[in-house]
């Protein structure tokens, strides 16, 4: 999950840089293409997961943090892709604070969420003193931002 978030943010930031060099400001269609590239990178990493890799096992959301473009063209699009994620993917549904206003370079932020099912069912595992443990499913979540160095 760590590499999925990091790689997707890096791939998307490189695409953003290429778009920004060719077209400034970027359009809404450009942002959709950036998001699609990030989601494809997450999907590629998902093939390494125990489920065998159908892209539907990993949920991803993307935000491009940029000065004017973030508001004008993408606006509330930060978090696009999170609408189909289960409520257990809490970080995908959290607010997206503007990294641009905090003084950071333009950046791409990717959040990913994956349900990991434990191999050994622990629902009936009894520990000393009458305590039990139930892990069942664990929701793994990562959030990574990759700065776009455009000098």
pLDDT range class, residue 115, cuts 50, 70, 90:
confident
User: In which element (H, E) is residue 60 found?
Assistant: strand 58-65
- Does residue 70 have a pLDDT over 60? no
Residue 58 corresponds to which tokens in the numbers above? 């990993």
Distance CA 142, CA 9 (A): 11
Convert the pLDDT of each residue in 74-83 to its tens digit.
Answer: 554 576 666 6
Winning range, highest mean pLDDT, from 87-91, 128-132, 136-140:
87-91
Beta carbons within 10 angstroms of residue 49's beta carbon: 16
pLDDT range class, residue 45, cuts 50, 70, 90:
confident
The dihedral built from the CA positions of residue 90, 122, 117 and 49, taken in this order, carries a sign that is positive
Cis peptide before 39 (omega within 30 of 0): no
Cis peptide before 2 (omega within 30 of 0): no
Where in the chain are the domains? 2-147
| Among 32-36, 42-46, 84-88, 120-124, the least confident range | 120-124
């Amino acid at each position: 999950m760590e590499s999925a978030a990091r790689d997707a943010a890096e791939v998307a930031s490189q695409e953003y840089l290429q778009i920004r060099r060719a077209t400034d400001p970027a359009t809404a269609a450009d942002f959709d293409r950036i998001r699609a590239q990030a989601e494809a990178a997450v999907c590629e990493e998902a093939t390494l997961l125990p489920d065998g890799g159908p892209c539907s096992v990993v949920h991803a959301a993307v935000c491009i943090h940029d000065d004017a473009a973030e508001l004008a063209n993408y606006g509330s699009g930060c978090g696009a892709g999170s609408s189909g994620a289960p409520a257990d993917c809490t970080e995908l549904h959290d607010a997206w604070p503007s990294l641009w206003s905090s003084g950071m370079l333009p950046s791409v932020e990717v959040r990913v969420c994956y349900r990991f099912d434990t191999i050994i069912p622990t629902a009936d595992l009894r520990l000393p003193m009458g305590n039990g443990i139930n892990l069942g499913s664990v929701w793994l979540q990562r959030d990574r931002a990759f700065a776009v160095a455009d000098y």
